[in-house]
Amino acid sequence: MSYSKEKVDTLLHNGISRRNFLKGLAASGVLSSFPGGLLEANEDLNTKIPYLGEKSYETFRNACPRNCYDTCSIKTFVKDGVMQFIEGAQESTYTRGGCCVKGNSYVKRVYSARRLKYPMLQVGGKGSGQWKRISWDDAMEIIAKKLLEIKKDDGTMLGAALTKYSGNFGITHYGIEGMFNSIGYTTRLAGTPCWPAGIDAQNLDMGNMWCNDPEEMKDSKFIILWGVNPASNSVHSMKYIYEAKKKGAKVVVIDPVFTEMASKSSQYIQIKTGTDGLLALGMQKIIIDAKLHDQKWLDANSKGFKELKEYLDKDIKLDDVSKVTGIPLEMIKELALSFAKAKPATIWMGYGMQRHTNGGSMIRAIDALVAVTGNVGKYAGGARYGHLSTWGFNYAALSMPKPEGSVGYTGPEGAKGEFAHGGGGEKAAYTDRFLNINKTARELLNSKGPKVRLLWVACKNPFSQDFDRNQLIRAFKQLDMVVVADQFFNETAKWADIVLPVATQFEENDVNVSYWHYWLSLNEQAIKPIFEVKSDVQIAALLSKHMNKLEKGSCTFPQSVDTKEMTIKEFNPGIYAQFGIKSWEELKHGPVKAKAVIPYADGKFQTPSGKYEFYSEKALELFGSALPKYLEVRKPYDKFRMTSPHSRWSLHSQFQNLEWMEDVHPEPSVYINPDDAKMKMVNEGDTVAVFNKQGLLRLKAKITDNVQPGTVLMYEQWYNNNIYNVNELVDDTSSDMGAFKTGAPGVALHDTFVNFRKI
């Protein structure tokens, strides 16, 4: 195949169909003749490159900014301005020299011919596939004009909405929110589809979400991995679990699915989905009855143990626990007693478990089990869920003042999401308007006073990750303008008016921490941005330039930014003290770890009582139950339960679309239990339709008792070459908690029900 530069340019300069657009993208790979010529973006022509010796490369510090437990510290090897390969940083004992399968595909991600390269305008309207390449100036002028038109028509900027989530967790990426702060009071899709019910649960119990260092797990004597699958989704945690196991600790996996983690455990216990809370309560009852609870710790550090015990005595019947969970009573007893006897013991709770209508209550019940046994506040113990204790940056990029005279929302103010930091302490007359991110389609359609007219999508792919696709198409179509800033031409981009090509972390500066481990990494710009890609904050600056050109003072965001200066501004004495460094420049020599602290070891909890609260008045007020009472899960509305966990080949909609990932994992499957398959006369490899009231998917069946009877499993992923999207089957039913700390309840993703048949 050969493409001439002229041919590509003509393709890109004229209105072209989507087919041609994609072809154009592939073709334009050839446009990039990189210095050194070792790497070409044309996927037909990348072949073996030699390893030239450590000294032949320039190296840079980077970090993986994805929504992943592991937040790897990366070392990038560059030659003649071209990224050659990456390694995990050796300095971090957590990353220990290697990334995961996804991280190792980064070179391809940067130079993929599938990458977005130029700003594009969908001239035929959303979904038409009629695209035209435009300049950055034109793109920004169109957007700036629309924003100012909204302000003129409505007298406020509330008609402009931002939806941004976890596509890039680098700290300067809060500059995207900063961009919206800088134009006035706007509308935000708030909350989190990820982990809100559990965040609320932990905050009710302990006044914070704060987990022990995962590296301590190597010294735990008993580990329960409860609905969590690190063997697939936090591979760097595995070495600590293996080490504990080698030293004699029992590693128990409680999960509805025989996961990768389950296959490497000492004991696997399959539970009926959505009954985990009851199992935890039953275990506590057994432990307390056997007097194996830690009375001393409970007396000193907890509130409401008496009420909890009364509830367990009165309402929890062990025979029912066994029946409902589907686990023999003897096994539950054995598990409870051996857990209570081992010290220190720890439980790691996954995020999937709280994506149920009773999710928050289940996390509370498991927290209580850890507390009752005195394992809270102990080295190598703890009720592990996540933490944000190393996230105390300045959020300088976020904290932009409103333009003078801005008018906003006057309704009740909600919380802004789990990462809501910084941004003005004083009580303003107006606020932004918050809509529930987990009901995006509905909220956009119903927005009034004023209507949302412009939506900016960044670090997010709603068409792949959100629910209610049909409604979402309607919602997008009725907006005046949708702007999508991304790295790839994904499903959401298809419904945009304007797409903006965004830089990867290798093309910008940033700083990264994890919500799981305790390392801090600098992210240095390793290569020049390829084609016309820009980092999110540079896009914000350009927008500011155009808005101010049209109307002076209409946007307070700096009109030119340097991502390095932006990054430096995020550091403060608190961060330096926590990580034991004097300057951010020390991070050029590698990542550093926060000084060790055992959460709650001092017995101080940020709850109203200052203690661990089995009995929480706040919980009573907000969710109707002070105690971590058992709540039944959503009733089935179709024949089979569908579970849609994370795949190891992708992080939400990132990575699976890359050419290299297709080499190790080419296509999706639906996993069906042999009994169910037999009943439905489905054989291995058959194509089946999986459907419910929401939608229908066609894909290949794999028959396995890794899933229990009555359940089908499909991974959530976005493929470049496949219309498969599991979220088309998910409705937007809320989980029980989330509104307390993150502004909106979570989504009961795993309470989805479907039917299937062979086609």
The residue ranges that bind ligand SF4 (CB under 6 A) are: 64, 66, 68, 70-72, 99-100, 102-103, 651
Distance of CA 354 to the CA centre of its chain: 14
Matching residue, tokens 């006057």: 410
Asked if 32 touches other proteins (CB under 8 A), the answer is no
Q: Which of 13, 14, 52, 317 binds other proteins (CB under 8 A)?
A: 52
Q: Which of 327, 397, 527, 677 binds other proteins (CB under 8 A)?
A: 327
For residue 703, the minimal CB distance to other proteins (Å) is 8
Q: Tell which residue, 633, 542, 516, has the closest CA to residue 234.
A: 516
Residue (72 or 542) nearer to ligand SF4, CB: 72
Number of H helices, E strands in the chain: 25, 27
Residue 651, contacted partner among ligand SF4, other proteins, none, CB below 5-8 A by kind = ligand SF4
- CA 241, CA 245: separation in Å to the nearest integer? 6
Q: Which of 24, 65, 88, 377 binds other proteins (CB under 8 A)?
A: 88
Residue 68, contacted partner among other proteins, ligand SF4, none, CB below 5-8 A by kind = ligand SF4
Asked if 390 touches other proteins (CB under 8 A), the answer is no
Q: Which of 136, 258, 409, 576 binds other proteins (CB under 8 A)?
A: 258
Size of the site for other proteins (CB under 8 A): 68
Q: Which of 15, 124, 127, 326 binds other proteins (CB under 8 A)?
A: 326
Give, as one character, the DSSP assignment of residue 594. P
For residue 717, the minimal CB distance to ligand SF4 (Å) is 14
Asked if 622 touches other proteins (CB under 8 A), the answer is no
Residue 646, contacted partner among ligand SF4, other proteins, none, CB below 5-8 A by kind = none
Residue (52 or 723) nearer to other proteins, CB: 52
Asked if 333 touches other proteins (CB under 8 A), the answer is no
User: DSSP for 542-561?
Assistant: HHHHHHHHHSTTS--S-SS-
Q: Tell which residue, 644, 723, 557, 709, has the closest CA to residue 175.
A: 557
Spell out the residues 6+ positions from residue 433 whose beta carbon is closer than 8 angstroms to its own: 158, 185, 186, 187, 188, 408, 409, 411
For residue 335, the minimal CB distance to other proteins (Å) is 10
For residue 68, the minimal CB distance to ligand SF4 (Å) is 3
The tokens describing 284, both together, are 């506590």
Asked if 295 touches other proteins (CB under 8 A), the answer is no
Residue (34 or 242) nearer to ligand SF4, CB: 242
The tokens describing 711, both together, are 């359940």
| Contact between 492 and 479 (Cβ < 8 Å) | no
Q: Which residue is nearest to ligand SF4 (CB)?
A: 103
- CA 249, CA 252: separation in Å to the nearest integer? 10
Asked if 3 touches other proteins (CB under 8 A), the answer is no
Residue (44 or 315) nearer to other proteins, CB: 44
Q: Which of 93, 104, 394, 720 binds other proteins (CB under 8 A)?
A: 104
For residue 648, the minimal CB distance to other proteins (Å) is 6
Asked if 44 touches other proteins (CB under 8 A), the answer is yes
Asked if 568 touches other proteins (CB under 8 A), the answer is no
- CA 468, CA 496: separation in Å to the nearest integer? 17
Asked if 2 touches other proteins (CB under 8 A), the answer is no
Asked if 263 touches other proteins (CB under 8 A), the answer is yes
CA distances 534 to 81, 122, 235, 503, 696, Å, are 17, 20, 31, 5, 37
Q: Which of 97, 125, 155, 636 binds other proteins (CB under 8 A)?
A: 97
For residue 237, the minimal CB distance to other proteins (Å) is 9
CA distances 242 to 32, 88, 264, Å, are 45, 20, 9
- CA 486, CA 500: separation in Å to the nearest integer? 6
The tokens describing 737, both together, are 């908690």
Q: Which SS3 state, helix, strand or coil, does residue 104 take?
A: helix
Residue 675, contacted partner among other proteins, ligand SF4, none, CB below 5-8 A by kind = other proteins
Asked if 402 touches other proteins (CB under 8 A), the answer is no
Asked if 159 touches other proteins (CB under 8 A), the answer is no
| Contact between 326 and 272 (Cβ < 8 Å) | yes
CA distances 685 to 92, 663, 688, 700, 757, Å, are 43, 19, 9, 5, 13
Task: Indicate the residue type of 263.
Answer: S
For residue 75, the minimal CB distance to other proteins (Å) is 11
Helix, strand and coil content of the chain, in percent to the nearest 5, comes to 35, 20, 45
Distance of CA 541 to the CA centre of its chain: 26
For residue 488, the minimal CB distance to ligand SF4 (Å) is 16
What stretch of H or E contains 190? strand 187-190
Asked if 750 touches other proteins (CB under 8 A), the answer is no
Asked if 265 touches other proteins (CB under 8 A), the answer is yes
Interface segment toward other proteins; rule CB under 8 A; list 14-22, 94-102, 148-156, 371-379: 94-102
For residue 64, the minimal CB distance to ligand SF4 (Å) is 3
Provide the edge-to-edge strand list for the sheet that holds 160-164: 131-133, 120-122, 498-501, 481-486, 454-458, 160-164, 187-190, 433-436
Residue (103 or 159) nearer to ligand SF4, CB: 103
Q: List residues binding other proteins (CB under 8 A).
A: 39, 43-54, 85-88, 96-102, 104-108, 231-232, 235-236, 238-239, 242, 258, 260, 262-272, 326-328, 331, 648-649, 659-660, 662-665, 675, 702, 704-706, 708-709
